[in-house]
Copies of this chain bind each other. A is one copy, B any other.
Amino acid sequence: MSTQSVVTAIRVIEAVSDEQPVGLSELARELDASKATVLRALTTLEGLRWVEQNDSSKLWSLTAHAYAVAVRSGAMSTLRDIAIAPMNALQLATTETVHLAIPDGDILILAERLDTPHVLRAFLPLGSKIPLHASATGLAYLAAAEDAYIHRYFESSLDSVTERTLTDRTVLLDEIRAVRARGYSINEEGLSTGITSLGAAILGPGGDPLGSVSVSGPSSRIVPERYAEYGAAVHEAARAIGRAAAPGAR
């Protein structure tokens, strides 16, 4: 890999993103680079309006401009534009919060959200990182992936998010088989306590998962008696998105 300075600059961006308002020395330590190098990257990025420095605290953070540039990422926006209509229909049919998540490495990123009108709401900020094994979207995604991918993913440490997160690999495999059989995934309070979600993967032309959709709501409303109905609706929405995405397969 070439272009050392670009690599450090991007690593600076990612580190700043992770640490939020962060100082020069800490950044340099974290990236194992000299302060001069990091500062150079920071000032260059500042000139490009990607990072900014708080005048008083001297700490650095990412600007809204960085966000504005990156939201329009290809993977993101094309799938999202396609997904909006089916998501809207799904939201109206279920009256619960609908999520669209797309993959980034071994996690999913929350790409879009349509809210429930209910006062009692689940709230997940856009851009949230969603672990595959702890969410309805993630389980649906895993179930649609190849076995090799699943086993590779199982190599990583499957951390608990809540006390009801599934972390046992054999239990997860059983669940994945169940997802494949029934066409949608179920996640009961594995990501946030009190929230149950049903998810389905969006399949590309080759059957590969492009992302997933889900409906989420308080466990008091998303009760087992409704799983079949809502699950079918989620499955249908995912299928509709996949169909719409097929021709313009990026």
Q: Point out residues on A near B: beta carbons under 8 Å.
A: 1-3, 5-7, 9-11, 13-14, 17-18, 20-21, 40-41, 43-45, 47-50, 52, 54, 57, 61-78, 80-81, 84, 88, 91-92, 95, 102-105, 109, 111-112, 114-117, 119, 121, 123, 125-127, 129, 250
- Distance in angstroms from A188 CB to nearest chain B CB is 24
- Across the interface, do A126 and B71 meet the contact criterion of CB distance under 8 Å? yes
Q: How far is the CA of A66 from the CA of B109 in the complex (A)?
A: 11
- Across the interface, do A70 and B61 meet the contact criterion of CB distance under 8 Å? no
Taking the full assembly, how many copies of this chain does it contain? 2
In the A-B complex, the 5 residue pairs with the smallest Cβ-Cβ separation, listed nearest first, are A71-B127, A61-B74, A117-B117, A70-B70, A62-B73
Which residue from chain B places its CB closest to the CB of A80 in the assembled complex?
B125
Contacts of A61 in B (CB 8 A): 73-75, 250
For A50, A73, A121, the residue with the greatest tally of chain B CB atoms inside 10 Å of its CB is A73
- Across the interface, do B66 and A70 meet the contact criterion of CB distance under 8 Å? yes
- Across the interface, do A127 and B72 meet the contact criterion of CB distance under 8 Å? yes
- Across the interface, do A75 and B63 meet the contact criterion of CB distance under 8 Å? yes
Contacts of A115 in B (CB 8 A): 91, 114-115
Q: How far is the CA of A50 from the CA of B21 in the complex (A)?
A: 22
Contacts of A103 in B (CB 8 A): 64
Contacts of A70 in B (CB 8 A): 17, 62, 66-67, 69-71
Contacts of A123 in B (CB 8 A): 84, 88
Contacts of A41 in B (CB 8 A): 3, 6
Contacts of A2 in B (CB 8 A): 40, 43-44
Which residue from chain B places its CB closest to the CB of A43 in the assembled complex?
B2
Contacts of A54 in B (CB 8 A): 250
Cβ-neighbour of A63 out of B45, B73, B114 (below 8 A): B73
- Across the interface, do B49 and A1 meet the contact criterion of CB distance under 8 Å? no
Contacts of A127 in B (CB 8 A): 67-68, 71-72
